[in-house]
């Protein structure tokens, strides 16, 4: 029996704390869901992976576990192809299948690195930087999760941010705590003029530091053009102002600002029309759905070929994902912008042993230990799994949660 053969894939759904962050869909619930993967080899080596949660993703990872047992961990391409083939009949979207293959690919690379005694960044061609810059991810937010159904209110140490002054204060806290030198605001929450005012206030408070605004398709084409004009000279890019490749292309025709996306170009087949229509100038990559770390590096080369700048998307996540994001970002020569991360909002509940990943001066040093360089805290994992089981929460529902407090809240995109 070869030591590098996969014995089993252990799939553990978890839930961790999340503050009341606002977006164009509603508000974050008190818990966010992720899934932790442990890919166990015949010799006992364990490769780690982290995927977004939810019932569908969990079922697909369980299906993947059936397929990968017995395969060689160094055959990561074949492992992903086998999973893709198994999912194809029930999951027609390549983007959706990508979430599953990506998480397993990361676990394969972690295990490979551990076997070889080399960091994952070495397996991706070697690092071109020793630390990776991240942006402070600013959100409009409530001071607390209000009391609900007998549950007490849940406060946090970030405070309320519902206007330009609140956003500047949050940015200052982010800078004090983590040293960030670039800032992204999640918009699509208030009328565009209020969000324009917030960006101007940030520009005044942090002169010369890169700024971006992402309303998650809350605006029409016309509104997007208006905001782009108003924020000319203020933003480094405007992210997903409006829906779809044709809509973004229409905005891009008149926009003085580069347009970025993690919404309309999310699978390989979207690249050709986006390039043909000149719909975007910046792509936010994300190894969680682009097929893993090696495919992300390939994507970076495609972007380079077509003159697209590269940035990185994030969702509520923990340390295994942050380690993977850091390794791949370290191995991409043309990383044009600091990466997004939700880590400051969620790191208190991490599943990894502390000490390796730290956001300092707005950067994370690339771990140099074998594999991803992070270690699972099994007690934490057990606690967060129990929390998942006890919560009864099985999918993210920002809109439904918002309606618990504002029953007349409607999900309307575009809203303005």
Please tell me the count of residues contacting Mg ion according to CB under 5 A. 3
Note whether 286 binds Mg ion by CB under 5 A. Answer: no
Nearer to Mg ion, 230 or 239 (CB): 239
CA distances from 279 to 222, 235, 260, 273, 292 (A): 15, 18, 9, 8, 25
Note whether 214 binds Mg ion by CB under 5 A. Answer: yes
**Tokens 């690249």 belong to residue:** 271
Region 134-193 residues binding ligand GKR, contact defined as CB under 6 A: 186
Neighbours of 411 (CB within 10 A): 13
* Burial annotation 62-88 (CB, 10 A radius, 16+ → b, else e): ebbbebbeebbbbbbeebbebbbebbe
Of 244, 315, 344, 399, the residue at the interface with ligand GKR (CB under 6 A) is: 315
Contact flags string 329-348 toward ligand GKR, x per CB under 6 A = -----------x--------
Nearer to Mg ion, 214 or 349 (CB): 214
User: What residue spans of 242-318 are helical by DSSP H?
Assistant: 245-254, 268-276, 293-305
Stretch near ligand GKR under the rule CB under 6 A, chosen from 1-9, 92-100, 309-317, 386-394: 309-317
In whole angstroms, how close is the CB of 23 to Mg ion at the nearest point?
10
* Residue 141 known to be catalytic: no
Residue among 45, 36, 35 nearest 2 (CA)? 45
Let me know: does 35 contact 14? Beta carbons within 8 Å: yes
Neighbours of 250 (CB within 10 A): 18
Please tell me the count of residues contacting ligand GKR according to CB under 6 A. 11
In whole angstroms, how close is the CB of 332 to ligand GKR at the nearest point?
18
What six digits make up the tokens of 170?
């949050």
Among candidate residues 288, 313, 337, 342, the one labeled active-site is: 313
Q: How far apart are the C-alpha atoms of 175 and 254, rounded to whole Å?
A: 34
Note whether 18 binds ligand GKR by CB under 6 A. Answer: no
Stretch near ligand GKR under the rule CB under 6 A, chosen from 5-13, 63-71, 172-180, 314-322: 314-322
Nearer to ligand GKR, 120 or 189 (CB): 189
- What backbone phi and psi angles, to 5 degrees, belong to 13? -75, 140
Would you tell me which residues interact with ligand GKR (CB under 6 A)?
A: 21, 23, 186, 214, 216, 262, 313-316, 340
Would you tell me which residues interact with Mg ion (CB under 5 A)?
A: 214, 239, 262
Catalytic residue numbers read: 186, 313
């Amino acid at each position: 029996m070869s030591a590098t053969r996969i014995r089993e894939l252990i799939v553990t759904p978890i839930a961790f704390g999340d503050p009341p962050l606002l977006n164009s869909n509603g508000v974050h619930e008190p818990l966010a869901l992720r899934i932790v993967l442990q890919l166990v080899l015949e010799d006992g080596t364990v490769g780690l992976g982290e995927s977004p949660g939810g019932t569908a993703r969990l079922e697909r990872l369980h299906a993947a576990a059936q397929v990968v047992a017995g395969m060689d961990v160094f055959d990561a391409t074949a492992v992903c192809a086998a999973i893709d083939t198994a999912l194809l009949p029930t999951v027609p979207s390549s983007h959706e299948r990508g979430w599953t293959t990506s998480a397993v690919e990361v676990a394969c690379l972690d295990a490979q690195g551990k076997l070889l005694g080399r960091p994952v960044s070495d397996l991706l061609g070697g690092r071109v930087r020793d630390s990776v810059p991240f942006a402070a991810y600013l959100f409009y937010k409530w001071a607390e999760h209000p009391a609900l159904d007998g549950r007490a209110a849940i406060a946090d140490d970030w405070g309320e941010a519902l206007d330009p002054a609140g956003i500047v204060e949050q940015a200052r806290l982010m800078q004090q705590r983590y040293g960030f030198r670039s800032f992204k605001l999640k918009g699509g929450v208030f009328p565009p003029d209020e969000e324009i005012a917030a960006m101007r206030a940030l520009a005044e408070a942090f002169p010369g530091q890169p700024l971006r605004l992402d309303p998650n398709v809350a605006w029409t084409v016309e509104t997007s053009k208006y905001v782009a004009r108003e924020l000319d000279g203020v933003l480094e890019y405007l992210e997903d102002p409006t829906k779809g490749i044709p809509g973004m292309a229409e905005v891009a025709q008149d926009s003085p600002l580069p347009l970025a996306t993690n919404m309309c170009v999310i699978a390989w087949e979207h690249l050709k029309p986006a390039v043909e229509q000149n719909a975007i100038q910046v792509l936010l990559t994300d190894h969680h759905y682009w097929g893993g770390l090696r495919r992300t590096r390939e994507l970076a080369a495609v972007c380079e070929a077509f003159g697209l700048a590269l940035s990185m998307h994030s969702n509520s996540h923990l340390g295994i994902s942050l380690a993977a994001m850091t390794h791949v970002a370290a191995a991409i020569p043309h990383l044009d912008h600091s990466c997004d991360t939700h880590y400051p909002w969620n790191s208190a509940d991490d599943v990894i042993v502390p000490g390796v990943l730290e956001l300092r001066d707005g950067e994370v040093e690339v771990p140099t230990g074998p594999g991803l360089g992070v270690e699972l805290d099994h007690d934490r994992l057990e606690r967060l799994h129990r929390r998942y089981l006890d919560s009864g929460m099985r999918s993210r529902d920002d809109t439904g949660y918002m309606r618990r407090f504002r029953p007349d809240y409607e999900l309307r995109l575009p809203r303005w």
